[in-house]
Amino acid sequence: MRGAFGAGALALALAAGCGPTTTTRTADSPQQPPTAKSITRENPGGDAEDPERAALERLTTQPWGSRPDTYATLRMPLPDQKTWSNVTIWGHPTRLALEYGDDRYAVASLWYQPSDGPSDPETCLDRFLAHAATVAKQTAVKIGPHERVRTPRTVRGEAQTLVVELVEGTGETLLLHDEYVAAVTSYPSWPGTCLIHGFAVVSTRHRALAEQVRDRWVREGAPLLDWRTAIKSAPPTTAR
């Protein structure tokens, strides 16, 4: 099982480090898919010959659902939404953090925080990533290449632009190693606050597939995040 490190720009402790695999299967070789009854929240890859690959494939094909945050103010978009479990990122409180399978094939997290300066999406993302980089230096996570992109969306008739940082990283100790691709998104928020959503996918053995999962989230999932319609003013920036 993968442990949880503070994972810096991989959305602050997303999930890193796994034991060496025992299979000699390559990423491109055919595999037996899982039987439907074997797919569980703990093991979304079920009894497939390669459960990691099967789990990631589900994240590229299963329909979108959503999960409310801890305070019932936001709904987090999720593919295969029933097969996610709550997780705590120790030392870094969130509005909501979820893992995909006990082996943490993917992790999604939400932060809604007060801003000690400008609260536009670009500034919020820069501030978050600077803090995340500090966290990464204190852990076994190494941050790799990153790229900033922007994606449009329409919320209740209002055109908005989401600011997205595409990130790569590695979690490594003397015995454990895993690679990740991730995206961290900053949203327009209430004045004086920042709203950040992070999503990371393990890419050690199936890099191209992990990128498909990440890119689908950026293209289809991230634009769906929104405050619940009953929320008319800024809620408290409580987290846990």
- pLDDT tens column, 156-186: 888 999 999 999 888 766 556 788 999 999 9
Cα–Cα distance between 120 and 158 in angstroms, integer? 16
Better-scored residue on pLDDT, 6 or 118: 118
Better-scored residue on pLDDT, 145 or 174: 145
Q: Which amino acid is at 81?
A: Q
Question: In the predicted model, what is the mean pLDDT of residues 11-21?
Answer: 35
Cα–Cα distance between 200 and 96 in angstroms, integer? 14
Percent of the chain topping pLDDT 90:
63
Mutual angle of helices 51-61 and 207-216, in 10-degree steps: 30
Contact between residue 178 and residue 204 where contact means Cβ atoms under 8 Å apart: yes
**Which CATH architecture fits 49-227?**
3-Layer(aba) Sandwich (3.40)
Return the pLDDT at 240: 84
Better-scored residue on pLDDT, 127 or 170: 127
CB count in 10 Å sphere of residue 189: 20
Return the pLDDT at 24: 33
Contact between residue 59 and residue 33 where contact means Cβ atoms under 8 Å apart: no
Better-scored residue on pLDDT, 209 or 131: 209
Cα–Cα distance between 54 and 102 in angstroms, integer? 14
Q: What is the DSSP string of the chain?
A: --B----TTTTSS--B--PPP-----TTS--PPPPGGG--SS-TTTT-SSHHHHHHHHHHHSPEEEEE-TTSSEEEEEETGGG-EE---TTS--SEEEEETTTTSEEEEEEEEE-SS--SHHHHHHHHHHHHHHHHHTTTEEEEEEEEEEEEEEETTEEEEEEEEEEEEEEE-SS-EEEEEEEEEEE--STTEEEEEEEEEE-SS-HHHHHHHHHHIIIIIGGG-EE-TT--SPPP----
Distance of CA 123 to the CA centre of its chain: 20
Nearest to 236 by CA among 70, 80, 75: 70
